Structure 1
Amino acid sequence: MFDDTQITLTGLVGGHVTLHELSGDRCVASFRVACTPSYFRDGAWVRGAVTWHTVKAWNRLARNVAASVRSGEPVIVHGRLVADSWEREGRPQTSVEVVATSVGHDLTQGTTVLVRPGQQAATAPTSQETSQETSEEASQEMSAGADEPRAA
């Protein structure tokens, strides 16, 4: 038995997510991700060539991706690398795509709010509110003097 090739991509969504409803409760979402490597050379950051990857997500993940991910947003995609081969006009053709097992926003580029099914969407706190909450939590932890982690 062979192991699947696992891959993790970070990049920008390059277009709309398309959601196709199939028979029963099955569906598939498809989108493209542009990955641009950067590296440090001769004292400056240099951008490499852009590579495009087709990503497919199935069923519940497909619905969540279609509801959450928009063109231009930074994402992290993890999944299986799958090759499809066929012949066209007597010539062999191959396409490679990522069948996603996980998709999320790249939080090094910004923030996001998770909304579970059945929950109402909460508004994200402002940076001032977040900073104030963090300061209050740090003060409480320091004044408690406990080395134990707090219960969530």
Structure 2
Amino acid sequence: MNETLVTVVGNVATEPETQVTATGVSVTRFRLATTTRRYDAERGAWTDGPTSFYTVRAWRALAGNIKESVCLGEPLVVQGRLRVRDEEVDGRRFVCAEIDAQSLGHDLSRGVARFTRANSNLPAPRPQSNAPAPPEPAAVP
């Protein structure tokens, strides 16, 4: 229960790749880049700060939906569990930040999207209409 949940807004930095584990579970992985913007009063302009990269992993149905919906460069909002690990490769140590995604979507402050329900077993939403409701059938005496 001591998991760190985060919400990160950024851009897809690598094409999402999907694999199937030995137990038959789908997992999709990609890198998410997020860059801070700061106002530089001295220059009177906005400047980019450092970029942070996160490895995002999603499992099962979310993995398949990401593979069908997300492309390189798109702006996303990712929510999930943060895991930070120390790694060593070829004698060099570095820190690796990973997010196990629980939910994910396009950042609609930067564009538009249309939602398509993926599971046909769920009930379809009721149609929205501005037309008046049909009249009730007349009672037969």
CA distance in 1, matches of 2:51, 2:95: 20
In the alignment, which residue of structure 2 is the partner of 1:15? 14
Q: Is the 8 A contact 2:53 2:97 kept in 1?
A: no
**Amino acid paired to 1:23:** A
Residues 37, 49 of structure 1: 8 Å contact kept: yes
CA RMSD of aligned residues (A): 2.4
**Corresponding residue number in structure 1 for 2:38:** 39
Structure exhibiting the larger radius of gyration computed from Cα positions: 2
What does 1:29-108 correspond to in 2, within 5 Å?
29-42=28-41, 43-85=44-86, 94-108=95-109
- Identical columns (%): 34
Which sections of structure 2, spanning at least 5 residues, go unmatched? 121-129, 131-141
| Count of aligned residue pairs for this structure pair | 120
Name the CA distance, whole Å, in 1 between partners of 2:90 and 2:38.
Answer: 41
Question: More helix by proportion, 1 or 2?
Answer: 1
The SS at the match of 1:65 is helix
Inter-partner Cα distance in structure 2 for 1:94 and 1:45: 29
Change in CA separation of 1:24 and 1:13 when aligned onto 2, cut-off 3 Å: same
Q: TM-score, normalised by structure 1?
A: 0.68
**Structure 1, 84-93 or 72-81: larger mean CA deviation:** 84-93
Instruction: State the 1:69 CA deviation.
Output: 0.3
Relative distance call for 1:71 and 1:21 in structure 2 (3 A) is same
Aligned to 1:112: 113
Change (3 A) 1:50 1:91: closer
Question: TM-score, length-normalised on structure 2?
Answer: 0.73
Structure with the higher fraction of residues in strand conformation: 2
Q: Which runs of 5+ in 1 are unaligned?
A: 120-136, 138-152
- 8 Å CA contact 2:65, 2:118 repeated in 1: no
